[in-house]
Structure 1
Amino acid sequence: MGAGAVGLLVQVALLTMPGAQANCGESEYPYEGLCCVLCEAGTFVANHCSASHFRGKCDPCKEGKSFTAHANGLEGCVSCRQCREDQITLRPCTLTQDAECQCKQGYFCADEGCEICERNSQMHPDGKEILLNSTDTTHAGIPNQGMSAFVWVILALSVLVLLIVAALIKRLKCDKAALTDKDAEGGLVSM
């Protein structure tokens, strides 16, 4: 985040502090003892008001370069987010909205703000990298829904195989017990 953006954030924090607006209305901001009317979203304060309850001069932000999302008393617009080479632009920056970026196919967002896109890959046991094809931006480290479904299918099949093996073992034990009983009965009769 650049120094200009930090300055604007500090200014927004000061403008929204409860004590700072004690005498100003909800759609006003304090400036040198006056209560100036906020500029509309998509604009900024070029010149503050010279009398309370009036609006100063509001200038528009630069389309595609800067924006303000809400009514404000800012002395400048917020710079638009620039999508990087490893990202695609989902929504361009407008006067009232920042750009929205998403990692390109084969990459995922490594952090909450999606400032870093990392390539989806796994290491094969022999040390070779296996690239995974995904644009999943919400599950870092999980390649995609298809892989998750595959794991569930394997798990379900494994449980089914275990149940079949357990049933076969139980049947063999019952058959063996039945043969042992017949042998025992046969031995009693022959004596």
Structure 2
Amino acid sequence: MTCERQRNTTKQETPPRRVAARLQTLASPHFRLLTHCVMATKFSLWFNICVWLAVSLCICFASSQRHRSVNGTSRIRRETCEDGAYDYEKRSCCKCPIGQQVTQHCTNQSDTKCEICESGTYNSVPNDLKTCQPCTSCAQANANLEVEEECTAGRDTKCRCKKDHFCTTESCTICHPCKKCGIGGVKEACTTNSDAVCNENGGAIAGIIILVLFIAGAIVGIIWITRSKQKKEDEKSKETLIHLLPDVDIDPHLPDIARELGWRDARNLALRTGINAATIDTYEMEYRNDAEERTLQLLLKWVEKEGKQASKKLIENLVDMKQKKKAEQIRDILLKRSSPSNNPASNC
């Protein structure tokens, strides 16, 4: 029995026991009792240390969650208010943020309760109000206002003047119509916060405008007179050319006339006198590589349409087309070919 006690004594003097004894000297009485109980077991040193650390952490956490007593009531320390505070029944309560209103003031157990402003109302600053402000209307009668920015829970409606209206104050309730300048013109345009400024020397500007209108009228009159004169000259030229031109058969002269006239003028002549574009395009496609031949064929078609008066109508249309020189050359061709010396019948 003595040997057994000696062996137990020898086991208790192992390094774990020495470590536990050192921990006992540092811990509270409760921890000493706990350590004594743990050492009475046969668990390893590491298990004993882990249990001791776990219990220490639990006690520290519990101590950090102790409540502070205020007026006999347990209450958690209040954090700093982000939007400021207000006093209510000897308590400091947090204000509601922008765009919200108070629904319940703070108590010893809870902070201020807030809710967002309803549609059509707003609060633009942190507040302790139980109501939100009504939004401003821009549709007031004869105010000449319109909405620039819609009302939100945190901002009132922003109004502005309608077009061609102004207001001289920062917060407008009524906008006034811009001044309309007369013939003198605008010196400074109307803006949202200032009226238009008109030129004082309106007479000089009016004189300039009248002068410009007079010059423009004179130019138009000169153009009209020139055209009228040219038209009279063209009529006189037509009469002169046709008067000297006897009734001749134009068919024998068409090759020379086609050579003198050219395809472009022949085309314009045909369109001017009622031959449709499809017919003209047919000749152009058929005689693509021979401009003189397609001109001749188009003239034959045109002579067939105009009949006996083709020679005189040809001269008249060329003068109207401002082709007086070609009209004279074609007249000379017709006169030359129709002279008695070139007429076989007269020789007989």
The structure richer in strand per residue is 1
TM score, norm. by length of structure 2: 0.29
Q: Structure 1 length normalisation: TM-score? A: 0.49
Q: Considering Cα pairs closer than 8 Å and 6+ residues apart, tell me whether 1 or 2 has the greater RCO.
A: 1
Which protein is richer in helix relative to its size? 2
